[in-house]
């Protein structure tokens, strides 16, 4: 079977390893990831956010199955282009991926369908509305509506301490987007829970905790993720009831998407906060998490190709994972995330890493 993967990060590298276990891997990347290139029977370098260009790359390859991964790729409609060219696609179409690329849509979906885990929020389209919302809500998280690569949220007490400081960021976002989402600040422990979905059913993966702040003691800015860990079926701060609650929220979301005419097929990733008032939704993402995907996929025992096929058939196969702990740690360039120094050479002893029974994944 010929399986196509779109993307070139560490998340796609581990996906490539899992796909290559059971199928011929083909890859379309925006830049060369040597780890993926080594596994692929054939690969192309192009603008992965240009759907016609991606479809043109593989036009003559008789691809059987495709999976598009990064958020901006899904928002561009690459899954749609591949499906329209006759390929089975196990990643969400653009309108289903909207649950990630439009945070206003996501919050309205939760409100309209009374999905559990909702929080207080307001949409501001000017400075006066923003000031009013902050005063009404109190401690807040300020969020752009669209994609920010995990780096766009500013939170009271973490990134700003006064209304005046917060308004500097509000003005910046309003100038760029014309609107900003203002949500209540959630207090608790954050965790990620990913599920496979065929549009009706879900198959859960183990919970993971991601650490986004740069530098020791979380003193730096938000990043796309500096590392993550999992400890099997639970995390140290979770009860089984928290997992049931998160599963319930994800099921309600999948069913609401179906009712809304946006059948969600692929991987839905819920970012949750375990609070004293129960599990609350921070956000949803329409693809594998990064870096959390590396925690869970390293434990996956079921064939990823079989799972993807079952998604396209709307007969979701249950994914089985080893009940073990995992740790992911990133090596990043100096200056990351604000001003990463380009073209820094990293020397890595792959044989020693293998002796430690660890996995090296390239971004």
Q: Which CATH superfamily is domain 189-330 in?
A: ATP-grasp fold, B domain (3.30.470.20)
Residue 315, pLDDT above cutoff 70: yes
Compute the average pLDDT of residues 124-145: 95
Domain spans of the chain, in order of start: 2-91, 120-184, 189-330
Residue 223, pLDDT above cutoff 80: no
Compute the average pLDDT of residues 239-250: 98
Alpha helices in the chain (DSSP H): 10-20, 34-39, 51-57, 71-76, 78-84, 94-101, 103-112, 127-137, 163-177, 240-259, 292-297, 304-312, 350-355
- Over residues 336-363, the pLDDT tens digits come to 887 888 887 777 788 888 888 888 888 7
- Over residues 5-64, the pLDDT tens digits come to 999 999 999 999 999 999 999 999 999 999 999 999 999 999 999 999 999 999 999 999
Query: CATH assignment of 2-91, given 3.40.50.2000, 3.40.50.300, 3.40.50.20, 3.40.50.920?
Result: 3.40.50.20
Residue 159, pLDDT above cutoff 90: no
What is the rounded average pLDDT for all residues in the chain?
94
**Among residues of the chain, what percentage have pLDDT more than 70?**
100
Distance CA 216, CA 94 (A): 38
Is 189-330 the same fold as 2-91?
A: no
- What pLDDT was estimated at residue 150? 66
Q: Could you give the maximum distance between any two Cα atoms of the chain, in Å?
A: 59
Rg (CA), the chain: 20
Q: How far is CA 251 from CA 204, 245, 340, in A?
A: 10, 10, 39
- What pLDDT was estimated at residue 221? 74
- Over residues 186-207, the pLDDT tens digits come to 999 999 999 999 999 999 999 9
- What pLDDT was estimated at residue 38? 96
Q: Which of 97-101, 241-245, 317-321, 340-344 has the lowest mean pLDDT?
A: 340-344
DSSP secondary structure letters along 109-125 = HHHHTT-TT---EEEES
User: Would you place residue 285 in the very low, low, confident or very high pLDDT band (cuts 50, 70, 90)?
Assistant: very high
Q: Which CATH architecture has domain 120-184?
A: 2-Layer Sandwich (3.30)
């Amino acid at each position: 079977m010929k399986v196509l993967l779109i993307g070139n990060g560490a998340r796609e590298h581990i996906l490539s390893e899992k796909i290559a276990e059971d199928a011929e891997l083909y890859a379309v990347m925006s830049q060369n990831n040597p780890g993926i290139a080594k596994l692929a029977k054939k690969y192309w370098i192009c603008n992965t956010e240009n759907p016609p260009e991606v479809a043109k790359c593989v036009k003559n390859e008789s691809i059987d199955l495709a999976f598009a991964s990064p958020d901006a790729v899904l928002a561009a409609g690459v899954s749609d282009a591949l499906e329209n060219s006759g390929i089975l696609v196990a990643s969400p179409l653009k309108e289903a991926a909207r649950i990630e690329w439009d945070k206003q849509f996501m919050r309205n979906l939760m409100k309209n369908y009374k999905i559990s885990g909702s929080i207080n929020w307001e949409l501001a389209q000017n400075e006066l509305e923003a000031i009013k919302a902050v005063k009404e809500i109190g401690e807040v998280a300020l969020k752009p509506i669209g994609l920010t690569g995990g780096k766009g949220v500013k939170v009271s007490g973490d990134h700003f301490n006064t209304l005046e400081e917060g308004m500097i960021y509000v003005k910046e976002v309003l100038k760029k987007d014309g609107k900003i989402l203002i949500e209540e600040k959630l207090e608790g422990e954050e965790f990620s829970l990913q599920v496979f979905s065929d549009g009706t059913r879900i198959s859960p993966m183990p919970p993971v905790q991601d650490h986004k702040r740069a530098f020791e003691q979380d003193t730096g800015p938000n990043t796309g993720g500096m590392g993550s860990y999992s400890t099997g079926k639970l995390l140290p701060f979770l009860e089984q009831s928290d997992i049931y609650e998160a599963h319930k929220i994800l099921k309600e979301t999948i069913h609401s998407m179906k009712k809304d005419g946006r059948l969600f097929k692929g991987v839905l990733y819920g970012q949750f906060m375990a609070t004293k008032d129960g599990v609350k939704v921070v956000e949803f993402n329409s693809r594998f998490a990064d870096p959390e995907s590396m925690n869970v996929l390293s434990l996956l025992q079921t064939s990823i190709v079989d799972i993807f096929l079952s998604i396209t058939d709307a007969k979701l196969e249950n994914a089985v994972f080893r009940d073990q702990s995992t740790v992911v740690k990133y090596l990043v360039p100096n200056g990351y995330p604000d001003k990463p120094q380009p073209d820094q050479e990293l020397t890595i002893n792959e044989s020693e890493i293998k002796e430690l029974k660890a996995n090296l994944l390239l971004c």
